[in-house]
Amino acid sequence: MLARDVMTRSVLTVPPDRDVREIAQLLLESHISAVPVVAADGSVVGIVSEGDLINRTEAGTRHRPSWWLRHFASPHESSQEYLRANGRHARDVMTRGVVSVGPDTPLSQIAALLERHYIKRVPVLEGGRLVGIVSRANLLRGVATWRPPAAVRVEDAALRASLLEELEEAGLPMHMVNVTVTDGVAEFWGLVDSDLQVDAARAAAQSVAGVARLENHLVRRSFALSGA
């Protein structure tokens, strides 16, 4: 699935000069956690999230860094921290350098971006213009609405190759595992280190198109050695 398949298309935005109190009210009333900041030319110049509005002087929530952190901070860093806590407009508090994606970005890449940058959402841009936004909730909807592909016929040799590759990615000890495929029926044989690897093998078979049925004969090494 791609960004365009799950993104929210009707996106609330604010201009750079929007008052932070109005932004806070917008987030509360709209039940959203962030809003993109869009310039007059339609370009996304930043994003204001709940986190950007938490550390504020007027709310009594401003956290002043310790004296030794202030001592080592550059004048630029001190000015930026002060502006984010006391500035009155979106441009003062917004996060700049926004991570964005295109409409054809796969959800797997978006999930990786969210994890890598410790963020909860990414704007979707097309031709430099905002066309949507993908949040963690949108990714969950992608999981909830996913349907397995229709049954396909794959040659046994090609199917076996795909399964071996998938099992290796799943972390199985491939020097002790074998796979046979007959008329789309896959059989896993060999020794693994844990029940978790047995379950991972099952998930691998379910993720490969063309597997008609799985017969999982994998055995934990400790179980096999005990003779139980």
Tens of pLDDT along 56-67?
Answer: 656 555 555 554
- Least confident stretch, 11-15, 54-58, 128-132: 54-58
56: in domain? yes
Evaluate whether residue 150 is within a structural domain.
no
Rounded distance between C-alpha atoms, residue 132 and residue 11, angstroms? 6
By the 8 A CB rule, do 189 and 198 touch?
A: no
The answer to whether residue 105 scores a pLDDT higher than 80 is yes
Both 63 and 174 in one domain: the answer is no
* Average pLDDT of the chain to the nearest whole number: 84
Domain count, the chain: 2
Give the torsion sign (CA, 48, 51, 52, 53).
positive
Does the predicted TM-score (pTM) go above 0.85? no
> Which domain CATH number covers 195?
3.30.1340.30
d(CA 87, CA 89) in angstroms, rounded, equals 6
Calculate the dihedral angle through the C-alpha atoms of 66, 72, 78, 84, rounding to the nearest 10 degrees: -60
pLDDT tier for residue 54 given thresholds of 50, 70 and 90: confident
Q: What angle do CA 105, 111, 113 make, to 5 degrees?
A: 80
Give residue 138's pLDDT.
84
Confidence band, pLDDT 50/70/90 cuts, at residue 148: low
pLDDT at 63: 59
Digit-coded pLDDT (tens) for 182-200? 999 999 999 999 999 999 9
Distances (CA, A) of 185 to 129, 179, 202, 204, 209: 48, 10, 13, 14, 12
State which of 84, 110, 145 marks the end of a domain: 145
Task: Indicate whether 71 pLDDT > 80.
Answer: no
What local confidence, expressed as pLDDT, does residue 47 receive? 93
Q: Which two tokens stand for residue 6?
A: 């799950």
